[in-house]
Amino acid sequence: INFVLLISRQGKVRLTKWYSPYTQKERTKVIRELSGLILARGPKLCNFVEWRGYKVVYRRYASLYFCMCIDADDNELEVLEIIHHFVEILDRYFGSVCELDLIFNFHKAYYILDEILIAGELQESSKKNVARLIAAQVGILTFVELILENPLFFMINL
């Protein structure tokens, strides 16, 4: 996987993750091109698009398009399953995920994506393991926030 994009129906980018090197100018151009291409496609058309020698696999869930760019010889159906896997984990974590969850808790969506994909390769296929790891990360962050809010309390109680 070269990159992951989450785009709203209005064309707003909600999440991006780049696994191949692109300059900021190239990223902006890629996002503009792909959002125009994907948003203009009808709902009955195929979920695969050939683009610049790559394939873009996308799937719409509610008001969001989940897009992944892969090499031309990669398996599109496997990537559709990875997209679905990501959405299922988001649903499990947020309890029926919506666009607002991704706007206000984007860092948690990135945590989840980083547990599933590393360097553009599927690393964790177990939903339970991902949920366990994310809960541990959130627990650590909560603890650190408590320390930062009350540093004196923790120094006294050590």
Per-residue model confidence as pLDDT tens digits over 80-111? 999 999 999 999 999 889 899 999 999 999 99
Structural domain boundaries in the chain: 3-156
Dist CA 137 CA 71 (whole Å): 32
Per-residue model confidence as pLDDT tens digits over 117-126? 999 999 988 8
CATH architecture of the domain with residue range 3-156 = 2-Layer Sandwich (3.30)
Per-residue model confidence as pLDDT tens digits over 33-70? 999 999 999 889 999 999 999 999 999 998 999 999 99
In this prediction the pTM is 0.86
